[in-house]
Amino acid sequence: MICDAKSIKYVASTLLQGKPVTHGFLTRVGGVSKDSYASLNFDARDTDTTENVEKNRALFHEAFNVPAGKLVTVSQVHGKEIFAIEGGLPEKPIEADAIVTNQTGVAIGMMTADCQPVLLFDPVNRAIGAVHAGWKGSALGIVVETVLEMHRLYGTNPEELMASTGPCIGPCCYKVGWNVLDEYMARHKEADCFTEKDGLRMDINLANTIQLALFGLKKENISNDAVCTACNSDLFFSYRKDNGRTGRQLSFIMLNNGTNG
């Protein structure tokens, strides 16, 4: 479901709406960046200006009522390291591809452009997770690794955990090499996320969804907001569709203060 927060358009998960969290899978709409990075780009590693990215972050803070300095992102490297926020917030991004916390009022975010963002919410132990899972992350099983970390740190039971899978490149647009299948099958028994139609194709959303379900999440606790970023490049940054020169959209989740949200 596409929603508006001031100038920003974002996808809201039907599963997480009404829960004591603030969340969103932001689109590329509503920011100040230009050209290939138009307009709500959150990553200055390419050639967009730091000034534009800072303005976009300020727009985000205002639109979602996230206090300044309370958005934590990481330096994503397509690995399986998980950063747990305990105590103070990091001054510089740490290399990781997932963040977990049980602190209220701290937004944790992932930046993507075809890879999948997955947001996790444990309503029983009041803990959250944000995961960056492209083909490499899903081959490494990062969503399950993150659930395991939440179990270790907060006592999360997968049967009570909610997961929302966000916009990513769909199998309609995602042809991959056979090495991807080989790497995936080195760790997983299910190959349902691969199809052969005019070349090998991968469904990243299905891969992450299957892994979460096999790990004990209930079907009704997994919501699917995985519209294809490449088919909808007017709404989303897509690395494939934009030939590698593109921005990154933000997906985030934050535990609200108080008990009712």
* 38 lines the binding site for Zn ion (CB under 5 A): no
Task: Name the segment binding Zn ion (CB under 5 A); options: 43-51, 130-138, 182-190, 221-229.
Answer: 221-229
Q: Of 230, 250, 253, 255, which one interacts with Zn ion (CB under 5 A)?
A: 230
Are 30 and 234 contacting, i.e. CB atoms less than 8 angstroms apart? no
Q: Of 231, 233, 235, 240, which one interacts with Zn ion (CB under 5 A)?
A: 231
Q: Which is nearer to Zn ion, 67 or 199 (CB)?
A: 199
Residues in 153-192 at the binding interface with Zn ion, rule: CB under 5 A? 170, 172-173
Task: Name the segment binding Zn ion (CB under 5 A); options: 28-36, 44-52, 184-192, 225-233.
Answer: 225-233
Q: Of 32, 96, 228, 250, which one interacts with Zn ion (CB under 5 A)?
A: 228
Least Cβ distance, residue 232 to Zn ion (angstroms)? 8
* 235 lines the binding site for Zn ion (CB under 5 A): no
Could you count the other beta carbons within 10 Å of the beta carbon of residue 4? Answer: 11
Are 261 and 251 contacting, i.e. CB atoms less than 8 angstroms apart? no
Least Cβ distance, residue 229 to Zn ion (angstroms)? 8
Nearest alpha-carbon partner for 75 in 107, 42, 97, 55 = 97
Nearest alpha-carbon partner for 72 in 32, 31, 103, 39 = 103
Judged by the rule CB under 5 A, the positions of this chain that interact with Zn ion are 170, 172-173, 228, 230-231
